[in-house]
Amino acid sequence: RAAELLDLVGLSEKAKAYPASLSGGQKQRVGIARALASRPALLLSDEATSALDPETTRSILALLKDINRQLGLTILLITHETEVIRSITDRVAVIDAERIVEEGPVWSVFADPRSEITRRLLGAIRPQLPPELAARLLPAGGT
């Protein structure tokens, strides 16, 4: 099973390597393989890309997508990174103070955020127009 999982996560050539010789992304792949060893019905991924560089982040997200497709496994992804959500998920739930305040298809929640916390999270990635430009784009008397 170990060889099968190492192959699945793209690390078959590292089967005999010591953990200290692995990069951060490779260690993340080992963690994913270990989580899959028990054949779970659900894979919980908590901040899987938070300490990774952009290229490694993309490769880990691609791996998670492949695992989802190949194994038909649901992945519950916990992250504050809205670009990660946008690139890998179909649905999103926004949690504030231990409560789900908004949920639905990613495109719907991101296009029309209903809660203040969602607007704040998205505000970090949505550039704001300078007020004078925004005023010129609105119809007369519009808001």
Residue 36: inside a domain, yes or no?
yes
Count how many domains the chain has. 1
**Four-residue CA torsion sign, 11, 13, 18, 24:** negative
pLDDT for the residue numbered 30: 95
pLDDT for the residue numbered 34: 95
Residue 135: inside a domain, yes or no?
no
Residue 80: inside a domain, yes or no?
no
pLDDT for the residue numbered 137: 66
Residue 125: inside a domain, yes or no?
no
Which domain, by its residues, includes 33?
A: 1-41+48-73
* Interior angle at CA 86, CA 83 and CA 91, nearest 5: 140
Residue 24: inside a domain, yes or no?
yes
pLDDT for the residue numbered 141: 54
Tokens of 87: 């690139």
Assess contact for 89 and 74: CB atoms under 8 A: no
End-to-end CA separation in angstroms for the chain: 60
Residue 111: inside a domain, yes or no?
no
Assess contact for 11 and 3: CB atoms under 8 A: no
Residue 118: inside a domain, yes or no?
no
Statement: residue 100 has pLDDT above 90: yes
Confidence of residue 83 (pLDDT cuts 50, 70, 90): confident
Count CB neighbours of 1 within 10 A.
Answer: 10
pLDDT for the residue numbered 134: 60
pLDDT for the residue numbered 132: 72
pLDDT for the residue numbered 139: 60
At residue 100, φ and ψ (nearest 5 deg) are: -75, 115
Give dist(CA 67, CA 75) in Å, integer: 9
pLDDT digits (tens, 9 = 90+) for 19-28: 999 999 999 9
Residue 103: inside a domain, yes or no?
no
pLDDT digits (tens, 9 = 90+) for 105-130: 998 998 888 999 998 888 766 556 66
pLDDT digits (tens, 9 = 90+) for 33-65: 999 999 999 999 999 888 889 999 999 999 999
> If you average pLDDT over every residue of the chain, what do you get?
88
Assess contact for 72 and 43: CB atoms under 8 A: no
